[in-house]
Amino acid sequence: MPFRWYGAMIHAVGRDTFKRLFSTPRQERFFVSYHPLRIFSGSAHKELALEIADTLGVELGQSTTRRLPDSEIHVMIDEVVRDQDIFLVQSCCQPVNDHVMELMLYLDAFRRASAHSVSVVVPYFPYARQERMAHGRESVSARVIANMLEMMGAHRVIFVDIHARAIQGFFNIPVDPLSALPILADYFRQPEWENAAIVSPDVGRASLAGRYAQLLNLPLVVMHKRRTSVSVTETTHVVGEIAGIRPIIIDDIMAGGSVLKQIDALYEAGAEGTAAFAVTHPVLLPSALEHLESDDRIGKLVVSNTLPVPPEKRSDKVVVLSIAPMLADIINRIHQGRSISKKLILM
């Protein structure tokens, strides 16, 4: 680098920042972006976007989503975003298809408004359970979503605890697979959970459960289940010692609540005390809420706020933990060009 460039850098970023930049290890260095950081949100989960913006100390960008009488969606960016680094927060909750379409329209709007880059923060990735063909003549819907995001101009995709980790391979742009595992696990670092075991509801979640068990230094139990239909499963085996132990069942998504019914097998195997569930994405359909409230063996359902949890889905049993500080840290690191490798939990 020519010597005169150093003087220009010192003038641009300040002497203290310049010294700090070159006195840290190369992998920890970051550069000041000349493109302002902006946080925008769709209509799906504006509360999470506001919390992220507050944590970063920036204003939430102004935009408007309107639903027209014929059910079409119209989006408008209400301020100049030319040459800015945009992080668009849109968790694709119910109604899923409306929020997916809204996301695509915002990507188009930002591209036409000459934003420097648009990174999509999708805490709850839509169609993640349709990542392969289980039968002939089926759509691989998760791949369709990935193609749409790329074609509409997303520069980067950030998601949390995606149901099928292989989906990140559907993209040809940078993908950051985050996890709420450390946040949910911290809740159980209390004396009352010392005599507990981490329970995986099926073999597919065993690696996630293993990370919970490692973080909390608790034993691991794995349940084997067989799916008898699209919405019905039955537990066939419980592998591991659960007798006399309090179960903590982990999962990535709770929708209809089939996992709630699996505790029958645990108590038949000798589990004691009230059970707890640690779930990243609280879809929480009415059937799940009904079962949660009616079963006295279930003490707590600990979830993250990747999805909005309205008052009608809350109760004394439901504990909601925020992922906004984690997302704000990741966004800040990406914008500053700093490594996020140590923040990723790859399984």
Q: What are the two backbone dihedrals, phi and then psi, of residue 14, each rounded to the nearest 5 degrees?
A: 95, 150
Query: Which tops the pLDDT comparison, 185 or 235?
Result: 185
Structural domains of the chain, ranges and CATH numbers in brackets: 33-178+325-343 (3.40.50.2020), 182-321 (3.40.50.2020)
Q: What are the two backbone dihedrals, phi and then psi, of residue 127, each rounded to the nearest 5 degrees?
A: 60, 25
Cα distance between residue 49 and residue 28, in whole Å: 27
Active site residue 313: no
Query: Mean of the pLDDT values across residues 137-149?
Result: 96
DSSP state of 165: G
Would you say residue 3 has pLDDT above 50?
Answer: no
Residue 24 pLDDT grade (very low, low, confident, very high; cuts 50, 70, 90): low
DSSP state string for 298-318: EEEEEEESSS---GGG--TTE
Cα distance between residue 193 and residue 7, in whole Å: 57
Going by C-beta distance under 8 Å and a sequence separation of 6 or more, which residues neighbour residue 82? 113, 114, 115
Q: What are the two backbone dihedrals, phi and then psi, of residue 40, each rounded to the nearest 5 degrees?
A: -125, 165
- Kindly report the number of other CB atoms within 10 A of residue 318's CB atom: 18
Query: Mean of the pLDDT values across residues 227-247?
Result: 81
Query: Which tops the pLDDT comparison, 17 or 265?
Result: 265
Residue 129 pLDDT grade (very low, low, confident, very high; cuts 50, 70, 90): very high
Would you say residue 132 has pLDDT above 60?
Answer: yes
Cα distance between residue 347 and residue 327, in whole Å: 19
Closest of 180, 116, 23 to residue 335, by C-alpha: 116
Q: Given this model, what pLDDT does residue 258 score?
A: 85
Let me know the angle formed at the C-alpha of 55 by 52 and 57, rounded to the nearest 5 degrees.
110
Question: pLDDT over 90 for what percent of the chain?
Answer: 79
Cα distance between residue 275 and residue 213, in whole Å: 16
Q: Given this model, what pLDDT does residue 246 score?
A: 97
Residue 34 pLDDT grade (very low, low, confident, very high; cuts 50, 70, 90): confident
Would you say residue 80 has pLDDT above 90?
Answer: yes
Query: Mean of the pLDDT values across residues 324-340?
Result: 95
Cα distance between residue 129 and residue 55, in whole Å: 31
Q: Given this model, what pLDDT does residue 27 score?
A: 53
Going by C-beta distance under 8 Å and a sequence separation of 6 or more, which residues neighbour residue 26? none
Would you say residue 1 has pLDDT above 80?
Answer: no
Mean of per-residue pLDDT scores for the chain = 90
Beta strands in the chain (DSSP E): 37-41, 63-67, 73-77, 85-89, 117-122, 156-160, 175-178, 196-200, 220-227, 233-239, 246-254, 275-282, 298-304, 318-321
Cα distance between residue 157 and residue 151, in whole Å: 13
Would you say residue 179 has pLDDT above 80?
Answer: yes
Choose, from 19, 225, 261, 300, the residue flagged as catalytic.
Answer: 225
Q: Given this model, what pLDDT does residue 26 score?
A: 56
Q: Could you tell me the two tokens for 240?
A: 């591991």
- Amino acid at the residue 6: Y
- For residues 269-297, b (16+ Cβ closer than 10 Å) or e, as one string? bebeeebbbbbbbbbbeeebbebbeebee
Beta strands in 30-105 (DSSP E): 37-41, 63-67, 73-77, 85-89
DSSP state of 234: E
Query: Mean of the pLDDT values across residues 68-83?
Result: 97
Tell me if 243 sits within 8 A of 269, measured CB to CB.
yes
Cα distance between residue 309 and residue 307, in whole Å: 6
User: Which of 127-131, 234-238, 289-293, 319-323 is predicted with the least confidence, judged by mean pLDDT?
Assistant: 234-238
Q: Given this model, what pLDDT does residue 261 score?
A: 87
Cα distance between residue 242 and residue 234, in whole Å: 19
Tell me if 45 sits within 8 A of 85, measured CB to CB.
no
User: pLDDT, tens digit, for every residue of 36-53?
Assistant: 999 999 999 999 999 999
CA 196 to chain centre: 26
User: pLDDT, tens digit, for every residue of 246-286?
Assistant: 999 999 999 988 889 889 999 999 999 999 999 999 999 99
Cα distance between residue 46 and residue 51, in whole Å: 9
Cα distance between residue 70 and residue 67, in whole Å: 8
Cα distance between residue 260 and residue 333, in whole Å: 38
Would you say residue 136 has pLDDT above 80?
Answer: yes
142: enclosing H helix or E strand? helix 141-151
